[in-house]
Amino acid sequence: MAVASGSPVLTVPNLLSLARLLGVPVFLWLLLGPEADGWAIAVLMLSGASDYADGRIARRWPSQASRLGELLDPAADRLYIVATLVGLSARGIIPWWLAGGLVARDVVLAGTLPVLRSHGYGPLPVHFLGKAATFNLLGAFPLILLGDAAGAPAAVARAAGWAFLLWGTALYWYAAGVYLAQTRSVVRQVRQA
């Protein structure tokens, strides 16, 4: 979606993204402090619902779309992913190497930002693969946390959570490859021009 350069700042989607950002430390505290898993899952679910709502509102009403929103939304997604990975790893629910692999992907892509800026571009727009990967990861985390309990329902949640997590990880890295190819293409086009 194209956004005008003088786009508004105080929009409903931006406020939802800001609320999501403010929820990250609350979520991490719930996960690591009192280990209030039910509340931590509720914060994750609320974050997911507000993520869906802010995107839907911005698409439905173009006057609500903004450049700030294009930056806040993926920033909130990345922060929730990193916070969840740190929390789940610190509690021994997922291995550190898996968390490190997902964080490494974001570090690799962060390296493209100075390259794009030096060629007159900002961050690349989020594409469907990136959204699908994020959806899978953010869907996996509550299931994996639910699966940390005992009993048959927890076992089902754990299995489903790991399926989403592994598929999301594969998509996450595949999307990174697409972003890297797009960056290379932009750099080539600028050099040829």
Q: pTM of whole model > 0.85?
A: no
Residues for the chain: how many in total? 193
Residue-wise pLDDT tens digits, 169-188: 999 999 999 999 999 999 89
Tens of pLDDT, residues 3-24: 445 567 889 989 999 999 999 9
pLDDT at 138: 86
State the pLDDT confidence band at 58, using cuts at 50, 70 and 90: confident
- pLDDT score recorded for residue 127: 85
Percent of the chain with pLDDT over 70: 96
